[in-house]
Structure 1
Amino acid sequence: MGFMDRVSSNLRLMLRRPPRQQYAALCYRFKKKQGLLEVLVATSRDTGRWVIPKGWPMTGKKAHQVAEREAFEEVGVKGQVEKEPLGFYHYRKMLDNGLKIPVRVQVHALEVTDCLKSFPEKGSRTLEWVSCEEAALRVNEPELKILFLQFAEKMQPHIPPQPTKAAS
């Protein structure tokens, strides 16, 4: 088998493989005074595109624990993570060798209770708290856009009502 035949055969095998699995955290909070729902987005370290914290499976950790760990390492937040997944999205991960592989990301909601001043990837990403609608505009992955918008709908009943001003 010639070199090009081997490359072609290997490529066909890689494209037929099921997607690799990652776990992510959709980090959220309610602004204290306004009661508005905000989600945390960050830039990726390599391309600078807007993403949520995610990572590969870790030995001895369950999916939601991996999501919680990635949120701490990548964006410096701690909080209450949901054990049940919020949903899934797919993207193509560029490997160091230039090959793109399909990845399925299982997303867990994480209600942020603490934003840390120091964390492993501090300074390597830009972090911003935005509305779900704004987050959906920023991210590239269509299924992640939908997850943000569905999350906003799901959380609507949990948003505290705004105080009304008394009529004078």
Structure 2
Amino acid sequence: MSITDLPWPPLGDQCASSGRPLRAGEPVVSVLVDVEGETVRRDFSSEAWEGPPEGALGWWRCVAGGPAAPTQQRSPSDVLLDLFDAWSPGAADQTGQPDARYVAAMLLVRRRVFRADDAQEDPAVLTVECPRRSETYQVPVNVPDETRAGEIEALIDAALNPEQTPG
């Protein structure tokens, strides 16, 4: 687990120094401080920022949320990993899509997120390692036909470009 995976308190809606409401899209500096053994987040507008307070655990620059704030774009590799998981047999929200999972695995190999095992013994199974997750997966080779390949491509494209998907 990295420090970015920890559950930090959410961004506040006003400047900790001036009390002024933070506007959507406005640059903000956030600080983590220890208050009586509890980690507390304080957010400062850029103009009110005078440096980290004494004893600060950490600080960083970010952007205030709200409707005008830009949405954070997830990396295509993370989206593909989520699809790979969702298309696995027995996934909570899917019935399993072995051909789509195989395509996602191949794309993740191409992106160097997965490493294919060159010494595979069974040609019907693709063995891949994901160093990021410290996991090895056995993916049945299931090449989709041309029609299904187009459907899978559309599903992947919609996941990678949600803002372009018609609502």
Task: Give the structure-1-normalised TM-score.
Answer: 0.21
Between structures 1 and 2, the one with greater strand share: 1
Larger Rg: 2
TM-score, structure 2 as length reference? 0.22
